[in-house]
Structure 1
């Protein structure tokens, strides 16, 4: 249960921040955002605020912001249709009733001759006396179909009406917010836990570590280990790791006095599968607001660099499925991080956020990066790509991504359960 809750919390936060970036900049550009969704599939919970319906859906595998103009309107009104019109105080149409007109006795029933809800915002129709009447439509009018209201989307509120720059910023904002979230999480961890300092000094000690048993204390300054002078944490840990199960002498300075303490590092397996020594000490830390912010930047950059190195291995053909984790793998790693404490979970969340931001920026159809490529082509050509062709490319890209998710998930199952 702890793993499940941690996964929902972490993944939900990452998706929320990503989609909120799209939503915020879309609204700043004047784009009508019909829905802000976390998850896919059937709705679990929803509410409406400021023209947008906020929903939580059953499958927690992502999210989306549905902007006006990105897909064809689902409700089409053609000449000859009988509709009901409800006017506001300015005698502009505020509601267009498609069916169930008997439930709206205040509506004026007319037969449509011409309707334009994108540019002119007018309805030309015949009333019950067969007189031709023209109605102006309010730009926030709603179409009522099966008693479900849908706000109209005039051209100036649609995604495609905005400049290439505003559209590109709206798309880029999702990954940008993931990078910002990673920076904030890393910085908060540094503020609360302290920033690692590359000094040859003992930080906190584990309860069952051999360093504590031997008599080392937090704050001891290490001058040398087994005759090798050390000046940094990196140098110190290198000597320890190189001497598994072998007694080594720590020459330390404590309260101005020099002491020698013998320690025998325990043996553990390194990431490369080789034995290495550990004594149960953590890197020393210091507390600083400016330093924490700097740490947030450097850690975000470091994680991004590692991800690009892995992507480079894919490009050069040195790719291995061990480099990729799908939903099951991420679920398992999130549970392991949660078991190690809140700070480890926050660091893991930050790393995932950087990963989500970078993956979304790759020039892959159906991803934010793929959409940015099409906007770049539009800027170069001076006109947009045919929406049907672009839609087909994104559809194929989405299908291939879905196939990749299946393959990666199967790999996760083999790795974890077989």
Structure 2
């Protein structure tokens, strides 16, 4: 039950924020909005206010903002298609932008609550790699694999690329000391050296930590795309709605802050994925508008609509395939 509630809340907030971005900017630039919907499938509730219908649908896995002239020709001066290219691009960018902003806010809240990790070691676990190498409490990590580091995220980024041993330099009583460690794999499958670091509660550091995390995760998304193009991923590396729900369930075991971090990660994933130039996604629509700017005239709305429809069918098929793999991987049945 906890998993279901957490999943519904996370999906609802992620979709709500994304669609609200489109909605708010559409209203701001004067586009007529017919419907603001959260969820997919049959409608379970609605509220009419002005020219817009606000609806709630049964499946909290999507949503949409239905604007005048978005997918069809319209003579209405307030239609999406009759607005300037820049206005349309801003509307399309707004959804992902709101997801990124929400992720930044979540990271900031988590950082303020638990503090921002520093590079000063608080505890060295007995019998761990760091303990065996001679690293001590109070040592300050200043270099990893020959790369100078100024914050904990830099350490994590470099450490993630290490395959076998790792060279670490620390500052101890004003003296630089060098160590070579053999990382271990913990119960969760993570590579560790057996240390915990001190944290620092600071608004400035929390803001910096939030942006660093956002950039780091977006970089991971680009790396994933490269791996997908080169065929270096397997079915287990991709999760659909079912897989995400299962991951949310696992995360709830570690507390509310862990769930918040996962929600931030999901927000960034949704925002990033929506900006990919895949037909039916915001990124593809932006690409068509950029082509329009180059050509000096828009593409045929009907032809563009057909392309987006084909892309939508492809995405639904892909979601079903991924969900099928999730069911097999998790042995749900």
| TM-score interval, smaller chain | 0.7 to 0.9
For the pair shown, which has the larger CA radius of gyration, 1 or 2? 1
* 1:40 matched to 2:2: no
Deviation per residue, 1:161-202 (Å, 9 max, x gap): 100000010001111111111111101100111111121223
Query: Cα deviation per residue 1:371-395 (whole Å; 9 max; x = unaligned)?
Result: 1111111111111111110011001
Q: Deviations over 1:346-398 (max 9, x none)?
A: 11010111111110000000000011111111111111111110011001101
Instruction: Determine the structure 2 residue equivalent to 1:11.
Output: 11
- Report runs of 4+ in structure 1 exceeding 6 Å deviation: 233-238
Match of 1:134 in 2: none
1:191 to 1:332, Cα distance in 2 relative to 1, 3 A: same
SS state at 1:359 partner: helix
1:182 to 103, 109, 125: 103
Shift of residue 304 of structure 1?
Answer: 0.9
Q: 1:268 to 1:70 in 2, by over 3 A?
A: closer
SS, match of residue 200 in structure 1: strand
Matched, 1:192 2:113: yes
Deviations 1:44-65 (A, max 9, x none): 1211224221111011110000
1:378 aligned residue: 292
Name the CA distance, whole Å, in 2 between partners of 1:361 and 1:49.
30
Check if 1:406 corresponds to 2:315.
no
Offset at 1:298?
0.3
Distance change in 2, residues 1:25/1:362 (3 Å): same
Distance 1:44 1:36 in 2: 14
- The verdict on how the C-alpha distance between 1:354 and 1:14 changes in structure 2, with shifts beyond 3 A counting, is same
Q: How far off is 1:34 after superposition?
A: 0.9
- TM-score (norm: length of structure 1): 0.65
How big is the alpha-carbon RMSD for the aligned residues of Structure 1 and Structure 2?
3.0
TM-score under structure 2 length normalisation: 0.81
Which of the pair has the greater relative contact order for Cα pairs under 8 Å at 6+ separation? 2
Work out the CA distance in 2 between the residues paired with 1:400 and 1:314: 17
Q: Matches of residues 209-248 of structure 1 in structure 2 within 5 Å? A: 226-228=133-135, 230-232=139-141
Specify every segment of 5 or more residues in structure 2 that has no aligned partner in the other structure, as ranges: 145-154, 166-171, 174-183
Among candidates 268, 271, 277, match of residue 354 of structure 1: 268
- Equivalence map 1:112-191=2 (5 Å): 155-191=76-112
Looking at structure 2, the residues matched to 308 and 295 of structure 1 have their Cα atoms a distance apart, in angstroms, of 20
Q: Greater CA deviation, 47-56 or 353-362?
A: 47-56
Higher helix residue share? 2
Instruction: Give me the whole-angstrom Cα distance separating, in 1, the residues matched to 2:185 and 2:112.
Output: 32
1:392 to 301, 306, 331: 306
CA gap of 1:193–1:234, structure 2 versus 1, over 3 A, is farther
